[in-house]
């Protein structure tokens, strides 16, 4: 029985939208919407899919890697897919095909290549969903990427499937998201870091608000079908965290296999593989902007200190105070650097 989508979705206010369009060039074509109550912001296409996503019935052997954007999603996807496939060190198939992005139809700009050829063969590609079709074609067991929070997914999700939720400190998240939003044409951000941080702290970046997303994950952290991970803990001691994942998933890998997974998924190797760092190919087909930093960028904790001025720090702290019920209670680490 299909559930009614329980939230109202409204376009952003006209004056606010005009302001945002000056910096996020892609949104002049499609606009943005906000989900009532939670305040989540999406491109307007999300409204076409909201009920489909909310009612999607996941399979018992599905594992969702759930994150706010730029919190270690690609890294965790590759780890989980590799572990669930017997430690297979696959380097030939793009990660987005092996581990599909659940809601990307709601973010996609269908006028960009390589969507045009596919569109010509489908009467209503936006309704049908290229990425939903891709996900439904993937063989079980599926490892699925999502940036949607629990509240916008099927309420029965944790009765059927497992979720690995990854959180990252908001300062590094903001810096990483800034570079990604400049890179990807689905947003096409053309502003400076201070301008991006302003939108981030006003909770106007797509797939935010950050703290609302984290709050939903944190609330479920003790559920038996949820494994809550911190990006910083993974950087600090990856073998320890791989053992936790191994136990949670029941993958039964040996310590030697876990060492192999750690080597396969360390930052320098992920950055070097086009299957996990598709920057060059996506620039060539017009999906990424040339001259920006790679999709897989630095892989460190503490890079925020290279971007935050005292004035930006003050603005960020005001935003943290606004969300103090969450920001004061989650033990994020901010001040160490590691490169893997």
Using the predicted structure, report yes or no on whether residue 340 has a pLDDT greater than 50: no
Q: Is 147 among the catalytic positions?
A: yes
Using the predicted structure, report yes or no on whether residue 161 has a pLDDT greater than 90: yes
**Across 5-27, average pLDDT:** 96
**Across 95-111, average pLDDT:** 87
Using the predicted structure, report yes or no on whether residue 114 has a pLDDT greater than 60: no
**What are the tens digits of pLDDT across the range 191-222?**
999 999 999 999 999 999 999 999 999 999 99
Distances (CA, A) of 9 to 38, 47, 205, 241: 11, 7, 16, 38
User: Shortest CA distance to 143 belongs to which of 101, 93, 90?
Assistant: 101
- Per the prediction, the chain carries an average pLDDT of 90
Residue tagged active-site, from 147, 179, 213, 264 = 147
Instruction: Return the residue matching tokens 């206010």.
Output: 13
For the chain, which domains are there? 9-327 (3.40.50.300)
Crossing angle of the two packed helices 210-219 and 170-183, in degrees rounded to 10: 120
Grade residue 115 by pLDDT with cuts at 50, 70 and 90: low
Measure the CA–CA gap between 69 and 170, rounded to whole angstroms: 11
User: Is the sign of the CA dihedral 268, 270, 275, 278 positive or negative?
Assistant: negative
Using the predicted structure, report yes or no on whether residue 112 has a pLDDT greater than 70: no
Grade residue 285 by pLDDT with cuts at 50, 70 and 90: confident
Question: For residue 290, what is the enclosing H or E element?
Answer: none
**Across 307-311, average pLDDT:** 96
Rounded to two decimals, what is the model's pTM? Answer: 0.93
The torsion defined by the Cα of 61, 67, 71 and 76, in degrees rounded to 10, comes to 0
Using the predicted structure, report yes or no on whether residue 123 has a pLDDT greater than 90: no
**What are the tens digits of pLDDT across the range 312-337?**
999 999 999 999 998 999 999 887 65
């Amino acid at each position: 029985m299909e559930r009614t989508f329980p939230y109202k979705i409204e376009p952003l206010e006209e004056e606010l939208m005009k302001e945002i369009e000056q910096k996020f060039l892609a949104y002049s074509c499609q606009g943005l919407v906000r989900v009532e109550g939670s305040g989540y912001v999406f491109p307007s296409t999300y409204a076409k899919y909201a009920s489909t996503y909310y009612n999607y019935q996941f399979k018992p052997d599905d594992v969702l890697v759930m994150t706010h954007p730029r919190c270690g999603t690609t890294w965790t996807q590759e780890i989980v897919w590799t572990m669930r496939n017997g430690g297979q060190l696959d380097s030939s198939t793009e990660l987005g095909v092996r581990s599909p992005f659940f809601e990307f139809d709601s973010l996609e700009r269908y006028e960009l290549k390589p969507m045009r050829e596919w569109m010509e063969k489908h009467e209503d590609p936006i309704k049908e969903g290229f990425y939903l079709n891709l996900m439904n074609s993937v063989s079980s067991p599926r490892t699925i990427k999502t940036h949607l929070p629990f509240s916008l997914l099927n309420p029965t999700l944790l009765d059927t499937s497992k979720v690995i939720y990854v959180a990252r400190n908001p300062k590094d998240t903001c810096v990483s998201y800034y570079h990604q939003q400049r890179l990807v044409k689905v947003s096409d951000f053309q502003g400076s870091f201070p301008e991006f941080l302003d939108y981030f702290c006003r909770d106007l970046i797509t797939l935010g608000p950050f703290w609302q997303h984290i709050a939903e994950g944190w609330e479920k952290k003790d559920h038996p079908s949820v494994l809550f991970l911190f990006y910083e803990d993974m950087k600090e001691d990856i073998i320890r965290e791989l053992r936790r994942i191994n136990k949670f998933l029941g993958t039964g890998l040996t310590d030697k296999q876990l060492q192999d997974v750690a080597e396969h998924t360390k930052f320098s190797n992920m950055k070097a593989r086009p299957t996990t760092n598709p920057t060059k190919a996506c620039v060539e087909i017009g999906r990424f902007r040339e001259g920006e930093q790679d999709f897989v960028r630095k892989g460190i904790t503490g890079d925020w200190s290279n971007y935050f001025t005292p004035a930006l720090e003050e603005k960020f702290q005001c935003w943290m105070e606004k969300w103090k019920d969450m920001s004061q209670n989650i033990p994020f680490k901010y001040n160490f650097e590691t490169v893997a």
